[in-house]
Amino acid sequence: MRQLFYALGILLCGTTNLAYAIDRIDLSIGNITRPSSTSPLLNNFTAAATWDTDFLKSDEGFIKRSVRIEAGVGYHKTDDTEVKSAILAPVLHYQLATSGAQPFFEISTGIAYISETLWEAHDDLSSHAMFSDRIGVGYAFGETEISLNFAHFSNAGLRQPNPGADMLQIRASFKL
């Protein structure tokens, strides 16, 4: 796991141009909803760096569309263990072009690595290599976005068992 975090750090800061190109910092806090646990209500924390791209970008019309690349790390506390994660994923972001607060919707599917496969006594995710999915709705207030997100880890049925892990998160994204 340590090697994965080192590799992610090198990816994020390996070149001066890449490090300066970070467009957003994202912070999330939430609750693991599956596997269910009696852990504290706030038991899921993530931090990510996000890069804006020009791929599929559209600023014309009523709906703005963009694709972002997100690289992040997470900490997930269950009753039985503490799980660390690393995620790399594209994010498809749709935002209404309105004055004031602008509502948005985003969806993401990427790759992830989790440090522990056994999250609870009967919830073995069976693989460290995972897929990470996220869907969220929120509002943009100038340079800051606040959203409610549902996140999911799964091995997509490549190994059995595959119960997955679900998280409900409040996310804040800050433009640099």
Q: Residue 11 has what pLDDT?
A: 52
Query: What count of other Cβ atoms lies within 10 Å of the Cβ of residue 107?
Result: 13
Beta bridge partners of 141: 144
Residue 2 maps to a domain: no
Number of domains the chain is built from: 1
**Is 131 inside any structural domain?**
yes
pLDDT band for position 31 (50/70/90)? very high
Site of tokens 């090198």: 10
112, pLDDT greater than 90: yes
Query: Which of 70, 91, 81, 75 lies closest to 167, judged by CA?
Result: 75
Please state, for a pLDDT cut of 70, what percent of the chain lies above it. 86
Q: Is 98 within the bounds of a domain? A: yes
Whole-angstrom distance, CA of residue 87 vs CA of residue 72: 5
Four-CA torsion 35, 7, 159, 32, nearest 10 degrees:
10
Backbone torsion region of residue 65, taken as left when φ is above 0, otherwise alpha when ψ lies between -120 and 50, otherwise beta: beta
14 part of a folded domain: no
pLDDT value, residue 15 = 42
pLDDT tens for each residue of 126-136: 899 999 999 99
138 forms beta bridges with 104, 147
**Nearest to 27, CA basis, from 73, 82, 84:** 73
15 lies in some domain: no
Whether residue 13 lies inside any domain: the answer is no
Which CATH number is 57's domain given? 2.40.160.20
